[in-house]
Amino acid sequence: MNTTSIFFVHRSNSIYLKYTLRQARFYNPHAPIYLIGDESNNQYDFVTHINIEDYFESAGEFSKHYVHMSFTPQKFEQFCFERWFIIKDFVKKNKVEQFLCLDSDVLLFCNANEVKDKYNSYEFTIRGNCGAGLNYFSSIKALEEFCDYTSKHYTNPEFFHILELNWAGYQERKHGGVCDMLLLALYLEENKEKIGDVGKIENNTIFEYCILDVFQNNEKIIYKKGIPYVLKKENKNWLKLKSFHINVEKDKMYLYYTAGRLYKERFTDWVKDMRDKYQLRTRIKKILGRS
């Protein structure tokens, strides 16, 4: 049985990375899982570590033309763009035709072949109109076309003007900015029939769901056999999650991880979390003048 390759691209060894990597491996025991990263995160023997600098040629070329138009830090925003070019260079050189790209803050609760079977008729997937947490690509060509589309918006004045207009809107709102999700949204507008939506609910199941939605909607979460379910208030149905995007409060990833092991690490992160909460309460009491 062919297995779908999984990619993470990440610099540094963030506190949550150990959880997302091991969660992906738990549900994909035989799949090639690649962490394209730096020396700091070259310490997980259950995935294949790739030096990010070995596949930075296209990303480096893109970066020559990148113009920062965002209220978020340039280093973060630029890297979000660069990762697509890094993956593109790797899959082209190594002839990886079908693959799943995961944000490093996404916990996977299914086999990647399930995503492939569901969305292989599309060129690639997005959550909603721009989500970039779980993106399946059915071919190298699909990623190449998106990278070309992105580059065009920074090298062709006519297309760059579109980004400038969007940036003007962000400046008025004093929030957000031009990012890879904007390019995904623009690409989707022109290629709707080619893009699958992993944020679409079918049979009370969804392939990507965000913790931010849980918080904003004050939704209840339960786990059944290690799988997260969210109670949807509008219909009282339990929604089964195939992946859980912990896109806020990432240091609390240990709360949502279910792949076993990491007992010491989970306890350590829990202690740190409790300590931080205690210190915060202490600071608040001091501000309020309470003992």
Where on the phi/psi map is residue 176: left (φ > 0), alpha (ψ -120 to 50), or beta? Answer: left
In this prediction, residue 271 carries a pLDDT of 86
pLDDT (0 to 100) of residue 291: 47
**Could you tell me the two tokens for 227?**
């799988």
Cβ proximity of 137 and 124 under 8 Å: yes
**Residue range 120-131: mean pLDDT, rounded:** 95
Question: pLDDT tens-digit profile of 41-60?
Answer: 999 999 999 999 999 999 99
- For residue range 189-243, what is the model confidence (pLDDT) as tens digits? 999 999 999 999 999 999 999 999 999 999 999 999 999 999 999 999 999 999 9
Distant-in-sequence, close-in-space partners of 196: CB < 8 Å, separation ≥ 6: 118, 119, 121, 122, 124, 125, 126, 136
Give the C-alpha separation, 289 to 11, whole Å: 42
Q: Which of 79, 202, 87 is nearest to 135 (CA)?
A: 87
Query: What percentage of the chain reaches a pLDDT higher than 70?
Result: 95
Classify burial at 11, counting beta carbons within 10 Å of its beta carbon; exposed 0-12, middle 13-18, buried 19 or more.
Answer: middle
| Coil, helix or strand at residue 158 | helix
281 has a pLDDT exceeding 70: no
User: Which pLDDT value is given to residue 276?
Assistant: 77
Tokens at 108, concatenated: 């996977």
Residue pLDDT, tens place only, 11-32: 999 999 999 999 999 999 999 9
Q: Nearest CA to 142 among 120, 174, 173?
A: 120
Instruction: Give the count of beta carbons closer than 10 Å to the beta carbon of residue 282.
Output: 10
Architecture of 5-200 per CATH?
Alpha-Beta Complex (3.90)
Prediction pTM value: 0.93
